[in-house]
Structure 1
Amino acid sequence: MLSIGEFSKICKVSTKTLRYYDEIGLIHPEDINPENGYRYYSIRQLRKMLLINRLKSYHFSLEEIKNILDVEEDQAEEKLGSALHRKRKEVQEKINAYEYTLTQLNHDILRAEKGKPMMSWLDDIEVVLSETQPINILYIRQMMSSDDYTLGYEKYFSRLYERIAVDKLTLLGTPMTIYHSPEYNPAGNDTEFAIPIEETVKGTRDLPGGLCAKSVLKGPYAELTSVYAKLREWVENEGYELAQSPYEVYVTDHLHAAVSEDIVTEVYFPIKKKERGAYHAKQ
């Protein structure tokens, strides 16, 4: 048996932390002396403590680690393997995000060294006029908080795809999101998830066609705000105004893109010409 001090020294974990791990049920002392309260750990618990340390180094939370370890022995390796695969994916996504950030930093530094304004990259975003056709969409409309978006997209699009499969509906296009709120509110935004289909059934509606200002983003979704800013600037400068809610069409998504730079998103601003008097009043 090892005293808590010796166990702490070998595993490089403070005795205070070991006591906390005992409180939360992560790893208990093998024995506690009832007379003096001294805690003792067995030699075999060294492996468990080292596994906990290794999982912490992989950025698993204590709750996640407890969940991984709290399993029948015959299922332990399978559960651990699944958890490691999920964590590897999370880490890789973070690495990709940091690599993209580094690329942006290098571009901004290069612009600064050439004497160009940092925001001059907005000029590289192309805007075109596009005449869209009416489409029939299967949709779910929800109030979404800022915290809901990441999981919400997959959740609601999965529901729509499930409905299409169960009812044997005919898919006509890729997923899209329509943003109806007049302003951004972290507490909740009126968001419509939709997929174009052929059949007119319950839960479908017509998305009108018409003139749109369109831009295509090739890169991570974090850059969409820049595309929106450029589109809104273009709309104003060209004498147009928004006619309907803007929407995004996901030509590819993060699940099917090897790297974030491969994600392709089309952004549409339905527009109409401003009345001539109103337009010139702002010039």
Structure 2
Amino acid sequence: MFKIREFAEIAQVSTSTLRYYDDIGLFKPMRVDAETGYRYYAIDQLLRLNRILALKALGFELTQITACLDEELSPDALQGMLRLRQAKLQQHIQAEQEQLAHIEARLKYIEREGNNLSHEVVLKAVKSFPVISSRTQATGFLPNVHYANAFLDMLKQKEVSPDGPLLYLYNESSFSPVDFDVEIAVPIEHSSGSRLAHDAGVIIQHLPEVPQMASILHHGSPHAIVEAYQALGTWIGVHGYTIAGPCRKVCLCWKGELNDYLTEVQFPVEKQP
């Protein structure tokens, strides 16, 4: 079972969306703690949520979505509807292309009915290492890339050289309406950070050691990375682990064509008692 924040990150939706869907009876959590009111979700609920999000992307009202789900709309029918929407989205520019890729990733999940995920998950230990970072509440792939590039340009001007690939660290946010704030982090040598120690907005820290990190590689456009998150979440649930810390996204190769990008998604995990 996953807490609402963990399930939201795996599904790549906001916690406010999950709470609203619960309130209107469209998508209920698997369990609600009677004492604390905390919502808990099961990994096999992803299929229904993906159907809801796919229908919403097609322009259906929530009341219409409820009716479609009650009628048990077939995967073939839903696939045809999504393909029609996909053709229309291809006429739009960058922001629309990002939405298109998310729909494609959810479509693949629906086509498989949530089974036979081909991604390979690796469980490994990750050592502590120093990073220099900066936080942003920008949402979406392109705004975060622009912010990261500006951060890298600033480091270059300060003659601080990265000692490894760029990372995105996803921390729970206390600032509504954003569910997560994103921390752009760059590995550095121990002595490099002293040049920026007093710069406003810059954080110099050691990322903690993680004894068990569930990791998955995504080769392709970052726009469609939702499938990797859901494959990783499925593995965590099936193998009896729980998420034990914030997600890390490592940009192993972010150059050239988007389809050539290589990204590693990591979740610290613990074995359930």
Could you tell me how far 1:91 is from its partner in structure 2?
8.6
Kept after mapping to 1: 8 A contact 2:141/2:223? no
Kept after mapping to 2: 8 A contact 1:160/1:194? no
Query: How do 1:1-283 residues align onto structure 2 when only pairs under 5 Å count?
Result: 118-119=112-113, 123-144=117-138, 146=139, 149-181=140-172, 187=178, 189-198=180-189, 199-201=192-194, 202=197, 203-210=203-210, 211-253=212-254, 256-258=255-257, 260-274=258-272, 276=273
User: Which of these two proteins has the greater Rg computed from alpha carbons?
Assistant: 1
Could you tell me how far 1:218 is from its partner in structure 2?
0.6
Secondary structure at 1:227 match in 2: helix
What RMSD over aligned residues (CA atoms) do the two structures have, in Å?
A: 3.5
Query: Structure 2 length as normaliser, TM-score?
Result: 0.52
Gaps of 5+ in 1: 1-89, 277-283
Q: For 2:249 and 2:213, how far apart are their aligned partners in 1? A: 12
Could you tell me how far 1:263 is from its partner in structure 2?
1.1
Q: For 1:121 and 1:218, how far apart are their aligned partners in 2? A: 20
Kept after mapping to 2: 8 A contact 1:175/1:196? yes
Q: For 2:214 and 2:91, how far apart are their aligned partners in 1? A: 37
Amino acid corresponding to residue 257 of structure 1 in structure 2: G
Query: Structure 1 length as normaliser, TM-score?
Result: 0.50
Residues 236 and 224 of structure 1: is their aligned pair in 2 closer, same or farther, counting only changes over 3 Å? Answer: same
Q: For 1:126 and 1:238, how far apart are their aligned partners in 2? A: 13
Residues 120 and 155 of structure 1: is their aligned pair in 2 closer, same or farther, counting only changes over 3 Å? Answer: closer
Q: For 1:190 and 1:155, how far apart are their aligned partners in 2? A: 15
Kept after mapping to 2: 8 A contact 1:160/1:195? no
Kept after mapping to 2: 8 A contact 1:251/1:265? yes
Could you tell me how far 1:151 is from its partner in structure 2?
4.0
Could you tell me how far 1:181 is from its partner in structure 2?
2.1
Q: For 1:245 and 1:209, how far apart are their aligned partners in 2? A: 13
Q: For 1:230 and 1:156, how far apart are their aligned partners in 2? A: 28
Residues 182 and 190 of structure 1: is their aligned pair in 2 closer, same or farther, counting only changes over 3 Å? Answer: closer
Amino acid corresponding to residue 136 of structure 1 in structure 2: P
Amino acid corresponding to residue 263 of structure 2 in structure 1: T
Q: For 2:271 and 2:170, how far apart are their aligned partners in 1? A: 21
Higher relative contact order (CA 8 A, sep 6+): 2
